[in-house]
Amino acid sequence: MFSLYLVARRAEELLSTQDNAAYKAVLTELNTLRVSHSSLTTSEKSHPITECATFADDIKSKGYSFQSGWHFIDQPYFDKGGSLDDFTFVPDTYEILDAIKDLTAFLAKDGTAYLNSYYYKTIKASFPNEADARSFALRLIIHYVGDLH
């Protein structure tokens, strides 16, 4: 958990010192959900980018567990040998790399393919307001990048 904060804090520091316009845009994007769904963002105070780093974990018990499998890629570990044929392993259909790719496309408004994305549609089902969905998606990306790190 601590590494999530470290990665987010470093990103926040770099943005605020190297691209103040981008930093302000991120803060504006994050603030949307803070205003409309304050019960989900209670830990965010003076450093929202850093403080939302655990958001994706914190909300699982608040009705947003739909994104639980998006935090990783299932990868079997064969500590005693064997192969996939020896087990009934079924990886999740939805995973972190696709989530980051599709949510980043959504935030960047890169084309329209993200509109058919499972990740986008799932978030929009919970947050029909586009600005709220974007704010939610940004928090997930911040968390997932920390998970990857």
User: For position 41, what pLDDT does the model report?
Assistant: 95
Closest CA to 139 of 35, 34, 65, 66: 34
Domain map (residue ranges) of the chain: 2-75+91-148
Q: Is the pLDDT of residue 2 over 80?
A: no
pLDDT in tens, 45-64: 999 999 999 999 999 999 99
- pTM of the entire predicted model: 0.91
Residue 36, pLDDT above cutoff 90: yes
Question: How far apart, in whole angstroms, are the C-alpha atoms of residue 16 and residue 35?
Answer: 22
